[in-house]
């Protein structure tokens, strides 16, 4: 797959998040397909957007998300640093928005599933079991958009059972230090 030099150089900045060359190569294919795809951004959509659906197995692409060795926190922090360095003005403030969502899951083998408050639940039952995902994104104003937006976010799953103990407040993000997102701005001393 031949990529434009500017796109290949941008993707190359993400290489430290991947331990194996093959995993990084598959990432470049899927990222290119994600950008080129005009329809749904599914695994099949990314492969077809990259024009690699006949070359790369659908199962290999699915294994990228389920079994490949790569650091999602590092990937998100690289993206955050790029956003700060390339999309924010020199004196522009860094605005970080944070949201969490509950992905309802059950079963004994579901990783990090626990009973927790579900703010989006309808009716009186506000407790559900699942994974709580926290997303932090940097707000930017792009010249061709009328409203500010969040081009990418740092995503982590929140830790489990300790949040259900009486008297316990707050949430601990597994695999991500809350100070690392703003610290991604450190490249320009902000």
Would you state the pLDDT for residue 156?
A: 61
How many other C-beta atoms can be found within 10 angstroms of the C-beta atom of residue 62? 13
Of 179, 49, 165, the residue nearest 114 (C-alpha): 165
Q: Are 137 and 97 in contact (CB under 8 A)?
A: yes
Q: Are 179 and 80 in contact (CB under 8 A)?
A: no
Q: How many CA atoms lie within 13 A of 185 on its CB side?
A: 19
Of 100, 151, 156, 102, the residue nearest 129 (C-alpha): 102
What is the per-residue pLDDT across 108-163, written as a single tens digit (0 to 9) for each? 777 778 888 887 778 878 888 888 888 888 898 888 888 888 886 666 665 544 44
How remote is the C-alpha of 67 from its chain's centroid?
A: 16
Would you state the pLDDT for residue 20?
A: 92
Q: Quote the mean pLDDT of the chain.
A: 79
Coil vs helix vs strand at 113: coil
* Cβ neighbourhood burial of 83 (10 Å; 0-12, 13-18, 19+): buried
Q: How many CA atoms lie within 13 A of 72 on its CB side?
A: 17
78-87, 92-101, 110-119, 156-165: the lowest-pLDDT one? 156-165
Residue 38 neighbours by CB under 8 Å, 6+ apart: 49
Q: Are 109 and 164 in contact (CB under 8 A)?
A: no
Would you state the pLDDT for residue 170?
A: 45
Residue ranges of the domains in the chain?
5-66, 72-188
Categorize the per-residue pLDDT at 168 as very low, low, confident or very high, splitting at 50, 70 and 90.
very low
Coil vs helix vs strand at 104: strand
What is the per-residue pLDDT across 10-32, written as a single tens digit (0 to 9) for each? 999 999 999 999 999 999 999 99
What percent of the chain is modeled with pLDDT above 70? 79
Would you state the pLDDT for residue 153?
A: 63
């Amino acid at each position: 797959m031949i990529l434009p030099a500017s796109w290949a150089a941008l993707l190359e900045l993400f290489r430290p998040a991947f331990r194996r060359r093959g995993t990084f190569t598959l990432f470049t294919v899927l990222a290119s397909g994600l950008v080129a795809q005009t329809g749904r951004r599914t695994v099949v959509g990314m492969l077809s957007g990259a024009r690699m659906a006949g070359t790369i197995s659908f199962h290999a692409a699915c294994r990228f998300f389920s079994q490949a060795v790569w650091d999602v926190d590092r990937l998100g922090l690289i993206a955050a640093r790029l956003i700060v360095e390339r999309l924010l003005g020199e004196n522009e403030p860094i605005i970080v928005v944070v949201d969490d969502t509950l992905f309802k899951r059950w079963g004994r083998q579901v990783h990090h599933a626990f009973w927790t408050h579900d703010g989006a639940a309808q009716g009186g039952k506000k407790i559900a079991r699942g994974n709580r995902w926290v997303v932090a994104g940097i707000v930017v104003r792009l010249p061709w958009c009328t409203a500010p937006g969040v081009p990418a976010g740092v995503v982590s799953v929140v830790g489990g059972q300790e949040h259900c103990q009486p008297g316990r407040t707050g949430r601990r993000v597994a695999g991500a230090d809350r100070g690392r997102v703003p610290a991604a701005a450190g490249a320009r001393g902000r």
